[in-house]
Amino acid sequence: MNITFVAMGSELLGVERMSAFLKQKGHKVSLAFDPALFAERVYIENPYFAKLFSTTQETIDEIVSQKPDIVGFSVIADIYQWALYVATEVKKHIDVPVIFGGVMPMSNPEVVLKNDCVDIVCIDDGEHPMAELLESMERGSMRTNIENLCFKENGVIKKNPQRAPIPIETYPMFDKSLFEDVIPINQSYLTIASKGCPYVCSFCSESFKQPIHTGSHNEEGSAYTTNKQTHYEFKSVDDFMEELVLMHKRYNYTLVEFWDNTFTARKDWTLEFCERYKKEVGVPFKILTHPLCMDEDIAQALKNAGCYKVQFGVQTMNEEVRTLIIKRTENNRKVANAFACLDKVELGYSIDHIFGLPGEEDNMKAGLDEALSYYKNTKNLIQINTFWLSIWPKTEMFQIARDRGMIDDAEAERIENALDDNIYFDLGSVQDKEVIKLCENYQIMFKLLPFMPELLVNFLIKTGLYLHIGWMPRMFTRRLLDVATTLVNHDYKGYQYIRYYLWQMTKVVKSKIRHKLPNFSPARRLAESTTVGLMTDSADK
Ligand code: SF4
């Protein structure tokens, strides 16, 4: 069978894993990629340039030209509306089943299946369900009783049970070849060694995943105690090294990004990995982790292995909000200790901070000042990534925000149906004007902090001037300061991102010029030939 996966803005590891799995079963897998420049919902948003560089029509044309037997989308809430549009347009040209998977459909399959353009929704792992689906289609009749899949049958939604998680080690390596024409893999190799997360923060998609464990639980190697545990596992270091070494030979990549939610969650695994990585690969890398998963041994091992940046999900320094609202157990002392471990070995790190969390409004200035004082007393902090709370359907945060009256019925419905883009770096779900006004000052201050001289920081704080800098255009200033951070810190990833954008812009311009010549659009050609055919048929009658 021919499968076309559709991706927007970035490489998708889930799709690469699915592709490898389905190719092993003998299916043909293709990709239709929309770089969505200036609209990729991750870093850069600009409506004017987004329109100028839009390649959505070309993406639709490409899907149509591939004549797939099924079209698959991996969807998060902020690209959901785009995915619906593309699927609708594709179905105008070809009669093909469309399957949606990913976090957003998983949270709300019934809502997603209400759309005419979506036929099937996949919940959780899709490899085995998809293989079974294709096998049934190959035999001539689509099975609708496949676990993890939801279907529409005679207008009624049929939700099949979920299957037990499949061990991560049983899956093949990521099929990087699927993205190699659209993403410069040699510049930055993206991968992941684990699945899930040992934590269950209320704003995160982990909070609506099926619990495998409830009641008090201590994750091995971590001081964290939770009353819920979702499926979470690591590949063996052997398996992971095999992938990294093989792919290094194939792509000669110069940077690795480990996208594990909490890369250092298992101390023994981390120490063994760092030891081997240094000898067998030795390319600079960055990781994401949780402050509780850092100590001096881990910090030293990461530094020795070539880690150049650790990204910490800190989110708030308001202890009450952290405990009661985002459902974490670490205190500020432990967070500061994580910073100190990296300061000691002189390893750079960035912090994710969320503005607009419920509960912060009561004593907001004091809470943000506390965060500022912690952040400014660090040595190797190279960036503060500021986000605005985005509330996603079915998360625990959704209910918390509802209970606290932060979102009304109309907004709740918009969130449930993912009608808003809710971009987390442009106000997200935060609506309170007073909150926005105050936080905008801190957003600029946090962005300036890592590269402002201490004297200037203290001056701004002492004079209170830092509370009057939020008037600058939010998105523009944020991007400008991020670029400045990249230049000041010689951040590999930042440089690569700029190169990637220039490369994609050149490609888009060339493609636009090509399309402006004769009309090469397969979808349009098909539409034209169909129209001509229909006209001929009518004329014959
Ligand atoms: S630590 Fe990160 S990935 Fe894990 S639950 Fe919290 S926000 Fe989600």
Q: Do domains 2-162 and 173-191+235-387+430-497 have the same CATH topology?
A: no
* Beta-bridge partners for 240: none
d(CA 179, CA 15): 10
- Of the candidates 294, 229, 292, 289, which has an alpha carbon nearest to the alpha carbon of residue 262? 289
The predicted pLDDT at position 279 comes to 96
Q: Which of 76, 204, 391 to mutate to test the pocket of ligand 1 (most atoms within 8 A of CB)?
A: 204
The answer to whether 127 touches 170, Cβ cutoff 8 Å, is no
CB-hemisphere CA count at 13 Å for 11? 25
Ligand 1 touching residue 355 (CB < 6 A): no
The values of phi and psi at residue 382, to 5°, are -105, -15
DSSP class of residue 39?
B
Give kind and range of the element (H or E) at residue 299: helix 296-305
Q: Which CATH class is domain 2-162?
A: alpha beta
Ligand 1 touching residue 201 (CB < 6 A): yes
Task: Per-residue pLDDT tens, the chain, 541 aa: give them.
Answer: 999 999 998 899 999 999 999 999 999 999 999 998 887 666 667 778 888 888 899 999 999 999 999 999 999 877 899 999 999 999 999 999 999 999 889 888 999 999 999 999 999 889 999 999 999 999 999 999 999 999 998 889 999 999 888 888 899 999 999 999 999 999 899 999 999 898 999 999 888 776 554 444 444 434 334 445 667 899 999 999 999 999 999 999 999 999 999 999 999 999 999 999 999 999 999 999 999 999 999 999 999 999 999 999 999 999 999 999 999 989 999 999 999 999 999 999 999 999 989 988 888 899 999 999 999 999 999 999 988 888 888 889 999 989 988 888 888 888 888 776 655 556 667 777 888 888 888 988 998 888 888 899 999 999 998 888 877 766 667 677 777 777 777 777 777 778 888 888 898 888 888 766 544 444 444 444 444 333 333 333 3
Burial class (CB in 10 A: 0-12, 13-18, 19+), 336: middle
Ligand 1 touching residue 200 (CB < 6 A): yes
Q: Which of 76, 290, 395 to mutate to test the pocket of ligand 1 (most atoms within 8 A of CB)?
A: 290
Q: Quote the ligand 1 centre to 94 CA distance (angstroms).
A: 40
From atom 1 of ligand 1, which residue's Cα is the shortest distance away? Answer: 199
Does domain 173-191+235-387+430-497 fall under CATH 3.60.15.10? My reply is no
Edge to edge, the sheet with strand 98-101 lists 28-34, 2-8, 70-74, 98-101, 120-122, 149-153, 156-159
CB-hemisphere CA count at 13 Å for 56? 19
Which atom of ligand 1 is least distant from the CA of 315? Answer: 7
Q: Quote the ligand 1 centre to 268 CA distance (angstroms).
A: 21
Q: Which residues contact 534 (CB under 8 A, 6 or more apart)?
A: none
The predicted pLDDT at position 217 comes to 43
What is the domain partition of the chain in residue ranges?
Answer: 2-162, 173-191+235-387+430-497, 499-540
The answer to whether 309 touches 303, Cβ cutoff 8 Å, is no
